A and B are shown apart, each in its own frame.
Chain A
Amino acid sequence: MATPTVTKAGTDVDILSGLRRKSDIGGVLFRWLLLGSLLFTLVVLVVLLGQVLIDGWPILGSRLGDFLSTGLGSKPETSGIVQGLRGTFYLCLITAVVAFPLGIASAIYLEEYATRGKFATFIDLNIRNLAGVPSVVYGILGLTIFVKGPGIGAITGGSTPFAAGLTLACLVLPVVIITSAEAIRGVPTQLREAGVGVGATKWQVIKDHVLPYAAPGILTGTLLSVARAAGEAAPLILIGSVTGFMSGHPAWWDVGQVRESFTAMPIVITAWARQPQEGFKVDNAAAAIVILILFVLLLNSAAVVLRNRFEKRREG
């Protein structure tokens, strides 16, 4: 009604000047809102990290070596996390060994071989849903199949890192499949066509071109998923990891311990946080949290380093 008619040339000028001038209040507000969200996230993270560092400092600063090399105990000042660290290390190892090949193979099949149809869509939808299933549910699954399942229970040895690792592998499998599939989907079609064009078989194209090209993406996704597995407590509680005390200190390289009873970092942290003594619930728990964060950071940086190497090779 009252809208003034504008010429084409006029509109162009208006848009540009509108962006530059203060008249675009909405845009400016939006920009600050975005920045605010970012800062909020950062502040929360910094406060959290700062708090655990301050709480854990009495341990980290004075008896770090001792803390890393002793096991669970009855007094805060003589307790350490070596058993939790060993447990978490083996859990991650088993998770990676089981989930990586299975997940990547499934992703290759889904992306390269499966014909797009109702069935493929159905499978895809299921995998995506599985990725959102709460971890406790996987704990129940693990308890039923890997700990108590007839036959399988005897192989895993019951409540052991083996059973827990298989459970965590199931937990991260959907994420591994999804991220690997995305990475494979990102490979340019021309690459495949060129391969087929010079006479390579489908398998050769996948092996020599698609996978190397997708490797950085696949690696990032899969290693991040293992980092997630390292922080899970809920499934381990159901599987029955030890919360209070374990005697026996097998060496790190003693693979036999994957079929013995175990504990893990998230379990140690929750168990300590529930104790009445300040030494356990504040100092020790916070120190253990710092170590777990470092462990996860180490995994994540490994992912970054590996990705960069693969990317360089791809370009070179």
Chain B
Amino acid sequence: MTPKKLKFLAVALSLSATAAACGGSSDAAPETGTDGAAGGGDLSGEIVISGSSTVEPISIAVAESFAAENGEANIQVSGPGTGDGFLLFCDGEIDISDASRPIKDEEAQTCADNGIEFVELKVAIDGIAVMTSSENADVECLAFGDLYALVGPESTGFSTWSDANDLAVEAGGNGDLPDAELVISAPGTESGTYDSFLEIVFGDIAEERAQEETTRPDYSSAADDNVIVETISSNPTSFGWGGYAFAVEAGDSVKLISISEEAGGECIQPTAETIASNEYPIARDLFVYVNKAKAAENPALVAFVDLYLAYGLDEAVSEVGYVELADEAKAEAIAAWEGR
């Protein structure tokens, strides 16, 4: 009995032992170039970029252009999300963190605790488009108050657009919403687009009305902007918001709603121009954060950021569908980098 049981254990143990043995033999050969700082030589260093999936396409475009010129450089770009990016960044595991929002205080604190100094560079503007189906002729322009009344914390249970009318007027909106079914499709709490929308649109109203800065819990959220656009285009009385780049790619299947900050205010249609000039009110800045210490010891990283601030800001940003910074903002970013 007992010896048999021991044999079971032996099998279980051999499982892990064999795995370890496998590991030993396989790692014998390639012992080089594992721990980051393989740098030195002319621009052959390693550059690891991670963070926001919104900023990822810009970084990919710059990385592609950099790799084409510096064949020896080893660059990787990933997009797990802004929060995950900062987690890796403040652990010192990556060189550049892409972010669709500024670094939070507690994240900056983690970085400081780990002795990681960084430069914050604004690289582009991303508009957030409020959308409905192109078949919905009744809605052209919405004020912040209307948006708050449609999806804010006090809107739970509203099943038609007109249900929100009274609340919209109270919250400083126009309140002439149509009597049609309200089908909401929007990002969920895990998304940076969600956070930015709440902060810009609900911030003041929620504070005034002593409400939490959140949305109604009863709508279908999607992590993927393509899914949101799809849902909106297939429901004639839909409502939602998502990245401007996604809305533009969707073309005629969705309608971009003009936005005014106050009731009766000027309705601004989101376009590259109105977003760049800050006229369109719902837009957020996109950033990259560069690890100072790594830049000091890795010439490839410096050259890469230089390219980011030139080709990246001037061409890559608009190529991948975001809005270029105004010239002053570009100059500011370059100055911030030079003054590191």
Contacts and interface: CB of A to CB of B under 8 A. Distances in A.
- Interface residues of B, dominant DSSP: helix
Interface string A236-263: 0100111111111000000110111100
A202 to B, nearest CB: 13
B11 A106 contact: yes
Contact of A155 (B15, B27, B49): B27
B226 A278 contact: no
Size bin of chain B's contact surface: 35 or more
Contacts of B225: 274, 276
Given A240-B78, A258-B26, A278 B63 contact: no
Contacts, number: 127
B77 A242 contact: yes
Could you say which of B8, B246, B320 has the most chain A C-beta atoms within 10 Å of its C-beta? B8
Contacts of A278: 249
Interface string B26-46: 110110111000000000000
B30 A245 contact: no
Contacts of B4: 114-115
B57 interface: yes
Given A113-B7, A255-B30, A244 B78 contact: yes
Contact of B30 (A120, A244, A259, A271): A259
A49 interface: no
A138 interface: no
Interface in A8-55: none
B243 A276 contact: yes
Interface residues of A, number: 49
Interface string A266-310: 000001011111100100000000000000000000000000000
B278 to A, nearest CB: 23
A245 B321 contact: no
Contact of A276 (B49, B64, B74, B246): B246
B8 A245 contact: no
Given A106-B15, A274-B53, A277-B249, A152 B23 contact: yes
Could you say which of B19, B319, B320 has the most chain A C-beta atoms within 10 Å of its C-beta? B19
A98 B25 CA distance: 13
B229 to A, nearest CB: 9
Given A105-B11, A276-B249, A157 B76 contact: no
29 contacts: A74-B320, A98-B18, A98-B22, A102-B19, A106-B11, A109-B11, A113-B7, A119-B5, A166-B19, A242-B78, A243-B77, A244-B77, A245-B63, A245-B67, A246-B76, A246-B77, A247-B74, A247-B75, A247-B76, A255-B26, A255-B30, A256-B30, A259-B27, A260-B33, A261-B48, A273-B226, A276-B225, A276-B249, A277-B321
- 6 tightest A-B contacts by CB? A256-B30, A244-B77, A74-B61, A247-B67, A245-B77, A276-B249
